[in-house]
Amino acid sequence: MGQKVHPYGFRLGVTKNWRSRWFAKQDYAKLLHEDLELKESLRERLKAAGVSSIEVDRPGNKLRITIHTSRPGIIIGRKGAEIEKLKGDLAKKTKREVFIDIQEVHKPELDAQLVSESIALQLEKRVAFRRAMRKAVDSALRFGCKGIKVRVSGRLNGAEIARTEWYLQGQLPLHTLRADIDYGFSQAYTTYGVIGIKCWVYKGEILPGGQRRGLRNEPELRRPPRERRDRDRDRDRDRDRGPRPVAPAAESGVTQAAPEGRTSAPILPPMASPQTPSWKQEGKPEAPESANPPEGDKTE
């Protein structure tokens, strides 16, 4: 139970490509360890440059390294001095002709590896882990990703017992092969132990042909508004309760005529005085006409 597959290896050959691309009939183990040492040394050397991933190609006896970074200026240096120095060191170490390509990551908030490294850096500076996680989740959603999950494990806040906490916002279809899910892992070395940070970022679906149905800030096609039909208007009119407001009548005895097809009692206008119920009128005795003297007999 609980066995998880790596989101990157699960999609190799479907929507993801290999990060080391070469073929060897002999010395396979030697070239593999050379790749691992190269990537580890470059990550350690370019720790401040925000390196997301390193890809290695071996055309013939040459070595082509592609570095994806959010700060290309730190790697290139002033007038390309730093990258030339790096190229010379790698050529001397590997004894091959080295080419280095720098690819800029335009939105580091949507790169899972860079998000996990930024959280690790904050945890090493004693920032509250919940605050760092929420900040990463909110910034990723603000930049348009469709879903993000962040998980931290270890002695959080220096607790005696290690535990795991995670945040999930949006959708994260881990079993959908066409889903473009980026995964990153890093470690924070604190004074009370090591804390591991994992991050998953869902950017959308990769459709056949290389098209992407993706980030939320991209405009989506919408259906044109449907014209209202007569039956819709009739249904909305029947749904209204009560009569529409009517101007107040000049006399209190005027009543509003009932609409056709209804057998209910007549409805009085809003400002009309209430009528006396019929059962009260039947029981009330009529006053004799002699009780009211004519106007001419009144004395002033």
Pull the structure tokens for residue 164.
């795991």
- Distance between CA 281 and CA 259 in Å, rounded? 27
Q: What is the pLDDT of residue 207?
A: 86
Q: What is the pLDDT of residue 293?
A: 56
Query: Among candidates 216, 209, 208, 198, which has minimal Cα distance to 8?
Result: 198
Q: What is the pLDDT of residue 208?
A: 81
The residues, ordered by sequence, that sit 6+ positions from 50 with a Cβ below 8 Å of its Cβ are: 69, 70, 71, 105, 108, 114, 117
- Distance between CA 187 and CA 232 in Å, rounded? 60
Q: What is the pLDDT of residue 219?
A: 43
Q: What is the pLDDT of residue 220?
A: 44
* DSSP 8-state secondary structure symbol assigned to residue 149: E
What are the pLDDT tens digits along the chain (300 aa)?
677 899 999 999 999 999 999 999 999 999 999 999 999 999 999 988 999 999 999 998 899 999 999 999 999 988 889 999 999 999 999 899 999 999 999 999 999 999 999 999 999 999 999 999 999 999 999 999 999 999 999 999 999 999 999 999 999 999 999 999 999 999 999 999 999 999 999 999 988 876 676 665 554 444 555 555 566 666 666 665 555 555 555 554 555 555 555 555 566 556 656 677 777 666 555 555 555 555 555 544
Residue 244 sits at the vertex; the CA angle it makes with 240 and 247, to the nearest 5 degrees, is 170
HEC letters along 72-111 = HHHHHCHHHHHHHHHHHHHHHHHCCEEEEEEEECCCHHHC
Q: What is the pLDDT of residue 209?
A: 74
Q: What is the pLDDT of residue 80?
A: 86
* DSSP 8-state secondary structure symbol assigned to residue 295: G
Q: What is the pLDDT of residue 230?
A: 61
Q: What is the pLDDT of residue 276?
A: 72
- Distance between CA 181 and CA 148 in Å, rounded? 9
* Global confidence as pTM: 0.69
